[in-house]
Structure 1
Amino acid sequence: MSLGYKINKRIGKPIFIAFWALLLAVSLPLAATAAEEKASLADQIKIKLDGKDVKLTDSVKVKADRLYVPVTLLAKLFGAKVRWDAKNDEATVSSAHGDRIVLGDSVPVVYFNDERYLMEALPFQVDGKLYVPLREAVEMLHAKMAWEKKTQTVSLESVPLAVVTEEVDLTEISRQVDSSNRKLLARNGLTAEDAIKAGTKLRVVVPSILSNKAAPFTEKDLLLLAKITQVEAGQESYDSQLAVANVILNRVKDSRFPDTIRDVIYSGKQFPPAHNGLLDKSVPKADALRAAKDALNGKNNVEDAVYFFNPKVSKGEFWSSLTVIDTVGSHRFAK
């Protein structure tokens, strides 16, 4: 072995380490700078309501090029009331025009007048406050929003109810607001057979979510999913129970497994309680019911996982061959 080769071998590793250290030193400040610039951008955003500046007690959040604000701020601006359910991380908004809106932390489905719709973006919590996607929330509060990028200004416009008169009927109101009779009837819970007399007040802002109904589920589905969740993870955290519920729903969507909740639970050997009587005796507690409902409403903390197991109990070639997505509580969730 030549002296030159020995020297190169000795200095190669330090140079390699130094290179990666330099790369980290450069990339970490860049990432921090990007985050700071994003936060700074959010701090510069202004909101106007009906042409007047809104004093913000909390900064606007920017996430994936969407604007978010606390639901309590929007409710106050438009005369709505908010009831916060800390146990279920859920806000119920009663609007000034009689609409009822239920929003959950990281839950894509919103309950709007007791109907379920899928939002394009998820609400999320920061410092105990529920932030909601601004445009979708504004529409649900019967208002309009415009964004001016140059001045970083959000312009909100409150929209009054339209009133049917002898001269201005439903068809004319539909024309004025660039909508249709069918949409306005649906928005107001009316049908073509209902008599719309002079003096009738109509909501005319049709939220975009109304064109995106969530996939339905039955009370039997909810109860069965909650029961198996209780048996499998009832002694663990809500997050663990949510993960178990989602493994079942992930299987329903996967062509390798049955396509109903019941058939997934009762087929195969993954869920022994379905065959030994424990499932039939199961009485789901509040956390299991919440986890099942949230999972059915699209809140998924173990995307793509179709197996879960306790590594202290389940051992062998099959389990070790799986790709673990996450560990929640005592279970590993895998595909």
Structure 2
Amino acid sequence: MLVLGIESSCDETALALVADGRPLASVLASQADIHALFGGVVPELASREHYRYMGPLFDELMRRARLEPRALDLVCAARGPGLLGSLLVGVAFAKALALGLGVPFLGIDHLHAHLLAAGIDHELPFPCMGLLVSGGHTHIYRVESPSRFITLGRTLDDAAGEAFDKAAKLAGLPYPGGALLDSLARSGDPCAVALPRPYLDNANLDFSFSGLKTAAALWLEKSCPDAWPKPLPRAEAAPQALRDFCAAFNEAVVDTLCAKVERALRQNPDISALIVAGGVAANSLLRERMAGLMRRRGGECLVPAPALCTDNAVMTAYAGWLLGKAGYRHDLGMETIPRGKKIPEDMQGPPVS
């Protein structure tokens, strides 16, 4: 089965082909330089850029794969959650292509696709635990199968990746600052700055990172108002105080994520595997700590390759392949779902097990 996947949930326009579960070809156009001018993603600009890139990227993808569009067996697109205007561009293109070729169409949950991407390089043992950490979402799932995800916990405000980017911006790091904050943290002392581990004094599995962001802002304002130029001209110029702050913030987020995941695992003793996915899964400290947590429990931690942690179309196509081979489909009336709304279980095909 040859599956086309389209990803346009935020500011990356990406298309990929997966053949019988293996990535065949992929293309991607990033808008990072455009949105960096504004310090964050501008939804209207993002959707216009998706519209501009979509057709040429599809042509380039088929050229690289040396295939004709009629070779496609299934067309998939991320249906949400994400920026509504951006999602509509990808979904409309996918629906039109499926209609024109006379092949099935399938809308993919962007968050589930992030976690399922671990199956490209690893065998996915079901049931397993899934931690999705990205710029817009922080979720803990019990994953029963490629089609059944049970939400155990989620963020009540800022997502982990959003907290990283906001803290980086407050510290004067260039957009997007989360990855740079992680890099600077490796040469800092996390004990030099006292930051809280937020929302742990409870029994649930939800997250709240807004208080940590506020504590970071107050520390930066009080302790280092003029300690370094903002914005920082280059990463190499970062003083030790900034590196220490990055290390402390990094550790606070990772400690919080680990505490909640360990709590979820205790509540689900039949699970011995953890998938960590999403953009923040590329964070070096998070990968190290989660791997250690699972080793101590006699289990395994599965993380997609770094290129598959950020938004990409390979994960969309792969999730489509898993669901498509099981017989799932959508009709062309399927709706896109913006961030903040729950994606309905409306696929046609075999019953959810």
TM-score (normalised: structure 1) = 0.25
Q: Where is the helix percentage greater, Structure 1 or Structure 2?
A: 2
RCO higher in 1 or 2 (8 Å CA, sep ≥ 6)?
2
TM-score (normalised: structure 2) = 0.24
Larger-Rg structure? 1
